[in-house]
Amino acid sequence: MNEAKRKLLNKRYRAEANFKLFGQIAIGLALLFLAVFMYKIFSKGYTAFQKTWIVTEVHYDKELMLIETDNPSLEDLENADYYDIANKAMTRLDPSLPEEDDRQLIQMVAFTYEQEVKNHLLKNPSLLGKIVPIRLTASDDLDQVHKGNYPRDIPEEDRRVNDYQLKIYDMLNERGDILSKFNLSFFTNPDSREAELAGIASSFMGTVFSILVCLAFSFPIAVLAAIYLEEFAPKNKFTDFIEVNINNLAAVPSIVFGLLGLGVLLAVFNLPRSTPLVGGITLSLMTLPTIIIAARASLKAVPPSIREAALAMGASNMQTTMHHTVPLSMPGTLSGTIIGLAQALGETAPLILIGMVAFVNTIPGTPVDPAASLPVQIYIWSESAERGFVEKVSACIMVLLGFLILMNLAAQIIRHKFERKWN
Amino acid sequence: MNLVLISLILLLGFSSYYFGRKKATIIQSSQRLTALPKFYGYYLAIWCAAPALIIFSLWSVFEPTIVKNFILADYLDQNLTKNELQLIYTKVKALALGTYTGDINNFLDNSAGKYIQIKNMANNAKIVIVLAALILSLSYAYQSIKKNNRMREPVEIFLKWVLFTASLAAVLVTIGIVFSLLFEAIRFFQSVRIFDFIFGTHWYPAKTFVRDGQPDPELMKDAFGAVPLFAGTFFIAFIAMCVAIPVGLLSGIYLAEYATRKVRKYAKPIIEILAGIPTVVYGFFAALTVGPFVKEIGNSLGLEVSSESALAAGAVMGVMIIPFISSLSDDVISAVPQNLRDGSYAMGATKSETIKKVIFPAALPGIVGSILLAVSRAVGETMIVVMASGLAANLTANPLESTSTITAQIVVILIGDQQFGDPKTQAAFALGISLFVVTLFLNVIALTVVKKYREKYE
């Protein structure tokens, strides 16, 4: 073999190695992005599962609460005045502060502090007249300082927490009067304008209702349609037309379904705006083609011998289908349905169009109450300028991703455990 | 009221199933049955519930319009516009329900009384007619059971019709999309010339906001030029494709040709996770991490970078699309028959040469199809652009500036309360139909190409 040929051969081998390397780099890039993405979300979001409290003492002073009777009933306590004692509980932290600067201390806790003082007493009425320790929700700015998400070294006028408040915070922290515990209220509170009080309960219920409505509408229709197309439809132009329709619908951008929901469900049928009912129906139109395609694929996978055997035993076409083919195809159909629902779970744009982006600070109890949904909540919070919402968004994303993983896992398990392999 | 009626119908339906089945066992004692006893039950139940429910739903659909026409007939001689009539009707309804708080005049009061009267009459008539239909059809069905007619066939034919109706749902959805978009879009094009919309270069719908009366037609002409949006849409899609095609295609090729079974088993589903992440999450990521990152790099190079740049949105969108291209091209490449490869190897070609010169050309139609599907995906993507690329419609080819897309503008216009009849709202539907047409076009081509390709090797 002469020199030139060897050179050429080496060149070809190098090209081979390079090409393989490019492929590996491409896969590596995709995986790297996924890793960076997950890392960013988790490192930003995990702190949202911790909540910060300030511990102070409150004196349930009957005179300040304007209670006149000796043995006040629960109703009296309900109607008592908590403003003064709640403020006193905060100013107690620094008695040297002149009275006109009270707000500086009060701003360190969430604006619901008066309510919290009240609820504490209503839970234990025997505390009346006593001086007791109480923990109050810290304001989101302080919360962020405590979690180290907020820079302390920038000039005072650029900060939401001033030097005096930082001094008090450091003092409390040294005394161990800053508590940090699991943030249950993130899961039980509805949305709020204040980051320290905002929770996902309302949007979570909105999501649950939308998905249930979506399932109730899309699953039966899709399965029936798939049965017809796969088992009964004659081969003609109209059937082809239906098929082309389904394939195209599967690729229509989700926002177009939002426009459909707005133009038909809201404008023509006058269904209530901003509700999971409308959201669920809109999503179900979107999920319909996905489930039909999955159901057809799993019907197709049932071998003809099953049908032939049933027909040979004298079953009618309908009986063969309903008693044998459909039950055997169910695992595939169900896992396809779950995957379709998982897609619907993450949809945002169509829900925004039908008004599920409204600020909702109550937890919806039925599908016809106004609600948001988890992805829309992510959008709403991420548009908010307040720093405390960044970790809330990340935490909300973690919850959403958790659900998606669970659903996909369920689809996998159904597929592997119950689907029969025909050989 | 309606719920009670529906529950009653359903309850009767269920009980007639058991009744029919029992009747069959009685018939069985004297003559041979024509079908299994349960079909007698099904037959009776279907005849009991189906006609009643159909009449019920038709009635419920048409009743409001008819009642409305009755009420508004009194106002026809007053020469009122459609909106004024609608307002009067809303007032009458509120008055009848006792929720009205405005001024009450005699005329309105009369109408409200009439409304209550008609509504009551309609309700009673509905109950009577629905129940009459139920009894009639039930007795007909009972007669044919008694005669021991063939029972299985009618039940199965009914079921088949139910299945057929369900399969029409997809067609109905398509019709619904086309009509709802067209309806509003046509009204939009009555106030804005279609030429100005397709070729105008200024998109600034907020300009047309006027408190009273009609907006100035001169303003309208200049406010709804969609060229910046079309350009922005394809620009961002182009950036996304610059990321997604190389990475997606190379990963697809690697997975199909080089990867060991084990690598393939794990790498493919992990990459597909990228497609399962909700787009709003990508949007957050693009706005919070990628945007500032791009800006920092640009600034350190001395470039002017907007913090909401087309580049950030496009790049993140590209990452989202990687799995579409990689999975589809993996499938397509795996479907290329082995004998093509063997032939190439036998000629002494290396693996990469085989891929480049034999497999890739053979798989090209399928790959093109998958890329077209990915483009249609990118064109229809909404949340990433809304959150990461700004909302001002700039006509620019600079990836470092912010641009807007068709989808993002639809969201901008329709977020919050919408007024139907407002040219801004109608503009969103006009944008929607252009989006629908573009994606439909891409999908149809892609699906045809892929289908042709599949047939070639099957």
CB atoms within 10 A of CB A66: 13
Q: Calculate the average pLDDT of chain B.
A: 86
Phi, psi of A54 (to 5 degrees): -110, 130
As a whole number of Å, the end-to-end CA separation of chain B is 59
Name which of A18, A228, A398 to mutate to probe chain B: the one with the most chain B Cβ atoms within 10 A of its Cβ: A228
Name which of B160, B173, B188, B317 to mutate to probe chain A: the one with the most chain A Cβ atoms within 10 A of its Cβ: B173
Tell me how far apart the alpha carbons of residues B191 and A205 are, in angstroms, rounded to a whole number.
42
Question: β-pairing, A178-182 with A50-59?
Answer: antiparallel
Write out residues in chain A with pLDDT < 50, as ranges: none
Name which of B187, B281, B425 to mutate to probe chain A: the one with the most chain A Cβ atoms within 10 A of its Cβ: B281
Contact list, B183 vs chain A (CB under 8 Å): 263
Contact list, B266 vs chain A (CB under 8 Å): none
Find the closest chain B residue to A19 by CA distance.
B352
Closest-CA distance, A202 to chain B, in angstroms, reads 18
Tell me how far apart the alpha carbons of residues B41 and B115 are, in angstroms, rounded to a whole number.
42
Closest-CA distance, B26 to chain A, in angstroms, reads 24
Is B176's CB within 8 Å of A25's CB?
A: no
Is A229's CB within 8 Å of B167's CB?
A: yes
Closest CA to B325 of A30, A337, A293: A30
Is A224's CB within 8 Å of B379's CB?
A: no
ipTM value for the complex: 0.89
Q: What is the pLDDT of residue A137?
A: 87
Place of tokens 């659903």: A407
Q: What is the pLDDT of residue B344?
A: 94
Q: Check: CB of residue B333 under 8 Å from CB of residue B358.
A: no
Q: What is the pLDDT of residue A307?
A: 93
Tell me how far apart the alpha carbons of residues A393 and A400 are, in angstroms, rounded to a whole number.
10
Closest-CA distance, B158 to chain A, in angstroms, reads 11
Domains in chain B: boundaries? 2-150, 221-457
Distances (CA, A) of A324 to A311, A320, A330, B255, B263: 10, 5, 10, 38, 38
Closest CB from A18, A37, A289 relative to B285: A37
Find the closest chain B residue to A17 by CA distance.
B352
Name which of B153, B159, B160, B163 to mutate to probe chain A: the one with the most chain A Cβ atoms within 10 A of its Cβ: B163
Q: Check: CB of residue B169 under 8 Å from CB of residue A288.
A: yes
Write out residues in chain B with pLDDT < 50, as ranges: none
Q: What is the pLDDT of residue B217?
A: 62
Residue pLDDT, tens place only, B88-108: 787 887 787 777 777 777 777
Give all domains of chain A, ordered by start, each with its CATH number.
47-178 (no CATH), 201-418 (1.10.3720.10)
Find the closest chain B residue to A289 by CA distance.
B170
As a whole number of Å, the end-to-end CA separation of chain A is 52
Q: Check: CB of residue B173 under 8 Å from CB of residue A285.
A: yes
Q: Check: CB of residue B277 under 8 Å from CB of residue A401.
A: yes
Closest CB from B167, B273, B280 relative to A228: B167
Is B319's CB within 8 Å of A232's CB?
A: no
Q: Check: CB of residue A196 under 8 Å from CB of residue A388.
A: yes
Q: What is the pLDDT of residue B426?
A: 86
Is B319's CB within 8 Å of A229's CB?
A: no
Question: What's at A18, amino acid-wise?
Answer: N
Contact list, A241 vs chain B (CB under 8 Å): 171
Could you tell me how many residues make up chain B?
458
Is B281's CB within 8 Å of A256's CB?
A: no
Tell me how far apart the alpha carbons of residues A242 and A225 are, in angstroms, rounded to a whole number.
10
Whether domain B221-457 has CATH 2.70.98.20: the reply is no
Is B173's CB within 8 Å of A241's CB?
A: no
Tell me how far apart the alpha carbons of residues B6 and B19 are, in angstroms, rounded to a whole number.
20
Three-state secondary structure readout of chain A: CCHHHHHHHHHHHHHHHHHHHHHHHHHHHHHHHHHHHHHHHHHHHHHHHEEEEEEEEEECCCCCCCCCCCCCCHHHHHHCCCHHHHHHHHHCCCCCCCHHHHHHHHCCECCCHHHHHHHHHHHCHHHCCCEEEEEEEECHHHHHHHCCCCCCCCCHHHCCCCHHHHHHHHHHHHHCCEEEEECCHHHHCCCCCCCCCCCCHHHHHHHHHHHHHHHHHHHHHHHHHHHHHHHHCCCCHHHHHHHHHHHHHCCCCHHHHHHHHHHHHHCCCCCCCCCHHHHHHHHHHHHHHHHHHHHHHHHHCCCHHHHHHHHHCCCCHHHHHHHHHHHHHHHHHHHHHHHHHHHHHCCCHHHHHCCCCCCCCCCCCCCCCCCCCHHHHHHHHHHCCCCHHHHHHHHHHHHHHHHHHHHHHHHHHHHHHHCCCCC
Q: What is the pLDDT of residue A349?
A: 92
Three-state secondary structure readout of B124-192: HHHHHHHHHHHHHHHHHHHHHHHCCCCCHHHHHHHHHHHHHHHHHHHHHHHHHHHHHHHHHHHHHHHHC
Is A252's CB within 8 Å of B287's CB?
A: no
Q: What is the pLDDT of residue A20?
A: 93
Q: What is the pLDDT of residue A280?
A: 95
Contact list, B278 vs chain A (CB under 8 Å): 345-348, 375, 378, 400, 404
Q: What is the pLDDT of residue A134?
A: 85
Helix (H, G, I), strand (E, B), or coil: what is residue B302? coil
Tell me how far apart the alpha carbons of residues A321 and B160 are, in angstroms, rounded to a whole number.
11
Closest CB from B176, B276, B444 relative to A342: B276
Sheet holding A131-137, edge to edge: A131-137, A50-59, A178-182
Place of tokens 């810290």: A138
* Statement: the pTM of the whole predicted model exceeds 0.90: no
Phi, psi of A323 (to 5 degrees): -90, -25
Q: What is the pLDDT of residue B453?
A: 74
